[in-house]
Amino acid sequence: MTSGALVRLAAGAAGQVLDLLLPRICVACETPTSTADRGMVCGRCWSRIALLAKPQCQRCGHPLAVGNCRFCDALPPYVRAARSLCWVPEATASGILSALKYHGWSAVGADIGERLARLQFPVDACRERAALVPVPLNAARERERGYNQSLLIAQAVAARWQIPVVHDLLTRQVATETQTRLTPGERSANVKDAFALQPDAHRKVRGQHLVLVDDVLTTGATLNECASVLFEAGARTMSYLTFGRARSGTSA
């Protein structure tokens, strides 16, 4: 046995002993996790999130209803596809997001990204997507939180899709009010002009298909505003990838 293998064996054994001494607690539901659970969130919680049902609209990823897809109308014409894992707000998904955003459990970003990377996009979007772009936080909020949760999610997706994360394209200029209690019209006004291009961004985005990553898609106002700035800078196509999606707004 090599010394590296011995070290790994010892580390594994130490981990198992630690698991016995310190039963791990799910960061979302705060009950003990089972030994089969990997990551920060327990299997029960992952099985309880309300997945978007299939079949879905090929473009916006919304479960197909009878008649036209009204959710597609909320997307600008240069948005090729949007995918989300689960509905929000809903108790379990909100617990997972709170752990990531408000309780400092940054590793939940990797758990979410692992699942988002498995969502099916149209074949042309898979072929063309050139980079992942996390929606930025404003500097004050990122300092307070210690990280941008969308960047952590994007990094985990990037490792599986084998495309880069580009996080120096946009800055969030104004400390936008939290969107939670705003109407759809107020949300659009709240993020209007919130995002600015970083110097040199034009060169990086020209002609590209970029996948914008955020934790939640509610009305689409935030993602649409980022997409609009990147489109004006020369990006050709955008797709959206989020953990949660709200049923409200224009959803069918």
Residues at the interface with Zn ion (CB under 5 A): 26, 28-29, 42, 45, 57, 59-60, 62, 69, 71-72
- In the bound complex, what is the minimum distance in angstroms from residue 162's beta carbon to Zn ion? 28
- Tell the smallest beta-carbon distance from residue 28 to Zn ion (Å): 5
Residue 214 has, within 13 A of its CA and on its CB side, a CA count of 22
Cis previous bond, 63, omega within 30: no
Nearer to Zn ion, 28 or 201 (CB): 28
Q: How far is the CB of 69 from Zn ion (least distance, A)?
A: 3
Q: 58 and 129 in contact (C-beta within 8 Å)?
A: no
Return the number of the residue (111 or 205) whose C-beta is nearest Zn ion. Answer: 111
Q: From CA 68, how far away is CA 20, in angstroms rounded?
A: 54
Give the Å distances, CA to CA, from 140 to 39, 54, 143.
29, 39, 5
Our CB check for Zn ion shows the closer of 56 and 155 to be 56
Are 90 and 50 within 8 A, CB to CB?
yes
Comparison of 62 and 209: residue with beta carbon closer to Zn ion: 62
In angstroms, give the least distance from the CB of 82 to Zn ion: 8
Q: Which bin fits 119, alpha (ψ -120 to 50), beta or left (φ > 0)?
A: beta
The two three-digit tokens of residue 147, written as one number? 């990280």
The neighbour count for residue 176, using CB atoms within 10 Å, is 21
- CB of 42 vs Zn ion, minimal distance in Å: 3
Q: How far is the CB of 60 from Zn ion (least distance, A)?
A: 3
- Return the residue matching tokens 């029960």: 44
Whether the Cβ atoms of residue 28 and residue 95 lie closer than 8 Å to each other: yes
Q: Which is nearer to Zn ion, 68 or 173 (CB)?
A: 68
Most distant CA pair in the chain, distance: 65
Measured from the CB atom, is 78 or 202 closer to Zn ion? Answer: 78
